[in-house]
Structures are given as C-alpha cells and as structure tokens.
Amino acid sequence: MRSNIDGHFLLIGLMAYPIRHSLSPQMQNTIYSKLDIPYVYLAFEVDQEKLADAIKGLRALGLRGSAVSMPNKQLVCNYLDKLTPAVEMSGACNTISNDNGVLTGYNTDGIGYMRMLKEAGVDVIGKKMTILGAGGAATAIVVQAALDGVNEIAIFNQKDDCYAKIETVAKKLNENTKCKVQVFDLANETQLRKAIADSAVLCNATGVGMKPLEGQSLITDPTLLRPELVVTDCIYSPRKTKLLEIAEKQGCKTLNGIGMMLWQGAAQIKIWTGEDAPIEYVKEKIGFND
C-alpha cells in the first residue's frame, strides 16, 4: 500500500461492469509504485446507463484518463473528442487519455498483441496471418495488424453476429490500408487449411480453450500446423490451451495471451504517464510468468 499519496497524485479509472474481479488495478498500481510515479488506478462500476455521466465526471474531476471495458468499449466512442485510426476502424476504445480537457480514445489490445509478437522475435510484417474469431479481441488485432503492415489477414469465424461486423471492418481495412483482409466461414475447412499453410502466424481470438470450453480447440487436426508456424492464443487462463498443446507437439513456437495482456497494459501506461512499464517485474510480482 502506498503511503505517500499527496495532493499532486493523478487518478486513472477503469470503467466497466462487472469489474470487481479485474486484475488491472493490481497490475497498474504495482507498476506505478515500482516506477515511483504519482498516479493511482481505481476500478469504477460503470454500465452503459451511467457512462455519459461517468465521462462528464472524468472531465470535471480532471482524471488523467481511464481504461474502458465491457460493456462500454463501443458506446464510449460517442463521448470522446478524438479517436485514433485503430479506434475509428474497429469502433472500440479501451483507453481514454485526458490531455488538458481533450479526450482521445485509443485501443491498446491490438497494440499489445503486436508488441507481444515483436518481443518474442516473431516478424509478421509484410506476411500473412490467420485469425480465428471476430469478436472484440480479434477485431482489435486485425485492425492493428493491418495498420502495422501485415500483408494479408484471413479471418475465420462461425456465422454469428460477429461475422457481419467483421465483414464491415474488413471492408474498411481493404479500402484504407495496403493489407488484404478476407473473412471466411469457420466451417470452410479447405480454406482454413490453405490460409494456415500460407501464414506465418495463427491466432486464436475466440473463447474456445477457456472455461466453459477449456480442453477444446478449433484446430483438431495437427497436420494443419507445420513447425515454422507461430501459434498464438489470446487466452491466458489456462496458460496452455488445447490449441497450444497441439501446436507445441507439432514443433511450433507458441505464445499464450499473457504477453498481449501485459503489453496492452504497458501501452496504456505509456499513454497516461509517458513511462515504460517494467514488464519482467510485473510478471514476477503478479505471478504472470508463463
């Protein structure tokens, strides 16, 4: 517990509902303490009904910024002054920066994923990736990957509500970036095999592999995975999903969702404080070692 909080400290919020279970306050405050910087981070139970008032409060009280999570990531865009290209394209914001009263919306989930790859020595720029999923995590990753210079992205999803939404995002990316983005039905096994064979990276951005679908994998045929393929999973609990287990057996390099989570938090800290987060320290302190 920090005992030196004085009148100069700045507040950073987290607006979501439900949110009491979140590890973010612990992670963020651990970093602020380690860096000895005058910020505190608190979670606020804010649902869609309270969001407009919460943003007014943020402005009135001069919070330095706020993280935003479900169910507010889309709606919050309506209340901000500026949006980054990634937020414009994805329609989702998870980070607000308050710069002298001007609120800018960022999305650091995709930034975190791309940084995780880079830190692991995986170069996907100019190459192709295949992604399973079309929800919040997948959209953030696809958008950032396209903006960062990935050459081609194949998205596979079941034909649910997310499918039509990602088709709209793919259209925007095809019109506004050099990346070729295609959306396929997850049931199309021929296309899936072909896309993975051409890809440098495969990413699972669905909930398949974590509770209540723990022990399951959307890829069950190991011959889809060749040793040169890097296989990533956004899931971090469990640390090793069924997909990563299969990939490891095939000799693939594997990365779980811990890195994405840590690096997206580090990107938020950079935005709010200008500081580089001590990632190795956080991993050890909060038990995120993978």
Binding site for ligand NAD (CB under 6 A): 109, 112, 133-138, 157-158, 160, 162, 186, 205-208, 210, 213, 218, 234-236, 257, 260-261, 264
Q: Which of 50, 56, 73, 240 is catalytic?
A: 73
Q: What is the DSSP letter of 3?
A: S
Q: How far apart are CA 140 and CA 134, in angstroms?
A: 9
| CA–CA gap between residue 249 and residue 222 (Å, rounded) | 8
Q: In angstroms, what is the minimal distance from the CB of 205 to ligand NAD?
A: 5
User: Tokens 């079941």 sit at which residue?
Assistant: 158
Q: Give residue number: closest CB to ligand NAD.
A: 135
Structure tokens at 218: 């959307």
The reply to whether 165 belongs to the active site is no
Decide whether 11 or 122 has the Cβ nearer to ligand NAD: 122
Least distance in Å: CB of 256 to ligand NAD?
Answer: 8
Output 143-146 pairs: Cβ under 8 A, ≥24 positions apart: 143/86, 143/89, 143/90, 143/107, 143/110, 143/169, 143/173, 144/86, 144/107, 144/109, 144/110, 144/111, 144/113, 144/114, 145/110, 145/113, 145/114, 145/179, 146/89, 146/173, 146/177, 146/179, 146/181
Tell me how far CA of residue 278 lies from CA of 48, 65, 212, 232, 266, in angstroms.
Answer: 33, 20, 33, 23, 8
Nearer to ligand NAD, 96 or 98 (CB): 96
What is the set of active-site residues?
A: 73
